[in-house]
Amino acid sequence: MTGTAGSSSGAAAAGDIGVQPYWELTFDADGDPDAGQRDRLVAGAARERVTDLLVFAHGWNNDRSMATSLYGRFFAPFPAMAGAGVRLGYAGVIWPAMRFTDEPIPNFPPAPAGLPTVPAGPPLLEDATLRALAWCFPGRELTLRRVQELLAGRPEARSAFDEYARLVRDLVSVRANSPAERLAEDLGTGMPAMLTDDPLGVCEIFTAALEKCGHQELFGDGLKRLWNGAKEFLRQSSYYGMKRRSGVVGQLGLGPVLGALVKSAPSVRIHLIGHSFGARLVSYALRGMPAGDTAVKSATLLQAAFSHYAFAARLPHDPDHGGALQGVQQRVDGPMVACFSGHDSALGMLYPLASKLSGDSASFLGLFDRWGAIGHDGIQAVDGTRSVRLGAAVPGAGCVNIDASSVVRDGPPPAGAHSDICHGELARVVLGAGRVTRE
């Protein structure tokens, strides 16, 4: 039977997203899970006789309702596609990420055609975004208020940009001796250049990038115009915080939870799905699972917002070093699938800029080769990686790249199609990778 069958009260208590049995897994910024939710999943998967558990981690979202709406939309076609004898279970990861108010919610309907467009305006930090930032970075309310004041005032002075940069850097700093800091030290990763270089130069480059992405007419001229880039600097810096946090939640949170699940229900086949930074989260979950565990039968990365060299044993520009997740794909007893799109301007332009950003040039040459994201051009520099067309059979093992540009194509600037992921074609990729599609 498929995932439309009845469910236990423990699964139903997580909320009705249209498919059952469904469980939620909520984690805090340090990767600590909600113990009750964890225990309900671990016990419920065996009680429900689940054969295949789909675990989905969202990218940027402001609250639980946005995440569960995404899960409901994405999972909707799955029950009808599952093969005979398959009993699907569904798990949605809820973790503290955020979305700026000018970004699309994954696959929410766009505004009806013919409505008047909103005229270009100053790059303000809206109250709703400020509240979301305060939720994601608790204890930084005064810092955020001053950031909001500077964006509203747009002072034409270098000192104002210097102050703004100091505030943003303080916002995304991590607590001393926190799990996030310890994990970063373990991986040997440091602060991105955008958080250390000349603030005025950084804002100038982001302003140029917004224009190149086809953003609406930017507000102001002279130094006032660079406050458009200053808001993008805030966005990308907060994403850096979310990117770092996704690794913590994955490795220290989701990985151990999945390990406990396998002990309780060893026959359950696990299929990981992640969107944006959620793709990074599920990849780090593999790193956090017990060594030798073979329960994960597939992993599907949708518009993944981390380096396309993450799984490489050797970096093309630095052969003495490998990617932060080198070899982790081998912990999947099946394929590691990356779906990417050329219509994703968040990853095609802004992500590599934020990753590289030297501050010394507005040139975009060479960005994509060294600093590109998986969601822009797939997994790179991993031997044996195969590319298949969307709709074709997914290979049974190894890294697989699928260009999903034909369906992942809609969305306004600056993010473009980054959140356009709820499509039946992508559902078929997930189930095909897991070998649970109806023939």
pLDDT tens-digit series, residues 365-394 = 444 566 788 999 999 999 999 999 999 999
User: 143 or 413: which carries more pLDDT confidence?
Assistant: 143
Torsional sign, CA 138, 228, 123, 115: negative
User: 363 or 174: which carries more pLDDT confidence?
Assistant: 174
Task: Give the position of tokens 């675990």.
Answer: 55
Give pLDDT tens digits for 226-238.
999 999 899 888 8
The DSSP line for 262-280 is: HHH-TT-EEEEEEETHHHH
Q: Taking residues 174-183, what's their average pLDDT?
A: 69
362 pLDDT band (50/70/90 cuts)? Answer: very low
- What 3-state class would DSSP assign to 402? strand
Angle between helical axes of 35-47 and 255-264 (0-180°, round to 10): 40
CA proximity to 276, closest of 77, 63, 25, 67:
67
Res. 148: pLDDT tops 90 = yes
Contact 385, 401 (CB under 8 A): yes
Beta bridge partners of 389: 403
Q: Measured in Å, how far apart are the chain's first and last C-alpha atoms?
A: 15
431 pLDDT band (50/70/90 cuts)? Answer: very high
Q: Are strands 335-340 and 269-275 parallel, antiparallel or unpaired?
A: unpaired
For 40, 110, 116, 118, 438, the CA distances from 113, given in Å and listed in that order, are 45, 8, 9, 13, 37
185 pLDDT band (50/70/90 cuts)? Answer: low
Mean of the per-residue pLDDT values for the chain? Answer: 85
> What pLDDT is recorded for position 6?
39
How far is it, in rounded angstroms, from Cα 24 to Cα 39? 11
> What pLDDT is recorded for position 256?
97
Q: What is the pTM of this model?
A: 0.84
Res. 122: pLDDT tops 80 = no
58 pLDDT band (50/70/90 cuts)? Answer: very high
Which stretch of 167-171, 176-180, 386-390 has the lowest confidence by average pLDDT? 176-180
User: 168 or 346: which carries more pLDDT confidence?
Assistant: 168
Res. 286: pLDDT tops 60 = yes
Burial class (CB in 10 A: 0-12, 13-18, 19+), 116: exposed
> What pLDDT is recorded for position 415?
79
Amino acid identity, position 58:
H
Res. 268: pLDDT tops 70 = yes
> What pLDDT is recorded for position 265?
94
Which stretch of 99-108, 239-248, 292-301, 370-379 has the lowest confidence by average pLDDT? 99-108
Any idea what DSSP says for residue 196?
A: T
Q: Taking residues 417-431, what's their average pLDDT?
A: 95
